[in-house]
């Protein structure tokens, strides 16, 4: 499986930023940019850029090879509860498998998702690392 240049480019803003949707009626916060609040159905919503900080609440380790990202294996796929409230899926990088622990504070950083070496495109997007500034 390769990334599609056109699909990736159209969704660029969602690879470079984390957005959440805050409801003006029930006050709850949902992941991603949404037109309607998934909890109460209200259209009175606001899109907010997450600061990118949160807590690792669970994870799994993937050995699945995708074209252009073989050198990053194995990959840790985590569930991150953002400080803004919602839980999102994200790759956790810069960690050893034996030191991974639930409850770790993480921050979003720009990294390579895949790289079609040596002639293709490099796909960048956000992953998570343990916070640098404790």
Partner 1 sequence: MTSSRFRVGIVGWGAYIPVYRIKAKEIARQWGFDDRVTDSIWIEEKAVAGADEDTVTMGWYAARSALLRAGVNPGDIGAVFVGTESKPYAVKPSSTIIADALGISAKKLSTDLEFACRAGSEGIRISVSLVESGAVRYGLAIGSDTAQANPGDVLELTASSGAAAYLVGPADESVAVFESLVTYVTDTPDFWRRDGSRYPAHGEGFTGEPAYFHHIVSAVKMLMNESGLKPSDFDYAVFHQPNGKFPLQVGRMLGFPREKVLPGIVTPWIGNTYNASALLGLAKILENSKPGQRILVAPFGSGAGADAISVLVTDKVLERVGKAPTVEELIARKKYISYAEYAKFRNLIHRNLW
Length of the chain: 134
Nearer to partner 1 (CB atom), residue 72 or residue 85: 72
Using only C-alpha atoms, the chain has a radius of gyration, in whole angstroms, of 16
Min dist CB 45 to Zn ion, Å, is 7
* CA distances in angstroms from 1 to 17, 35, 69, listed in the order given: 24, 30, 10
Nearer to partner 1 (CB atom), residue 37 or residue 113: 113
Q: Which residues bind partner 1 (CB under 8 A)?
A: 12, 16-17, 49, 65, 70-72, 93-94, 96, 109-113, 122, 124, 127, 129, 132-133
Q: Are 63 and 73 in contact (CB under 8 A)?
A: yes
Q: Which residues bind Zn ion (CB under 5 A)?
A: 23, 25-26, 37, 39-40, 42
List strands edge to edge, sheet with 45-49: 29-31, 19-23, 45-49
Min dist CB 111 to partner 1, Å, is 4
Alpha-carbon distance 20 to 18, whole Å?
Answer: 7
Nearer to Zn ion (CB atom), residue 40 or residue 57: 40
Nearer to Zn ion (CB atom), residue 25 or residue 83: 25
Min dist CB 70 to partner 1, Å, is 5
E strand or H helix that includes residue 108: strand 105-115
């Amino acid at each position: 499986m390769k990334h599609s240049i056109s699909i990736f480019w159209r969704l660029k803003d969602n690879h470079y930023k984390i957005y959440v949707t805050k409801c003006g009626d029930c006050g709850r916060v949902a992941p991603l940019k949404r037109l309607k609040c998934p909890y109460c159905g209200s259209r009175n919503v606001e899109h907010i850029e997450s600061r990118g900080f949160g807590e690792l609440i669970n994870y799994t380790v993937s050995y699945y090879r995708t074209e252009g990202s073989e050198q990053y294996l194995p990959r840790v796929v985590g569930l991150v509860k953002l400080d803004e409230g919602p839980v999102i899926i994200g790759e956790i990088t810069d960690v050893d498998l034996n030191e991974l622990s639930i409850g770790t504070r993480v921050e979003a950083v720009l990294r390579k998702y895949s790289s079609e070496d040596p002639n293709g495109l490099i796909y960048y997007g956000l992953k998570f690392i343990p916070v640098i500034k404790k």
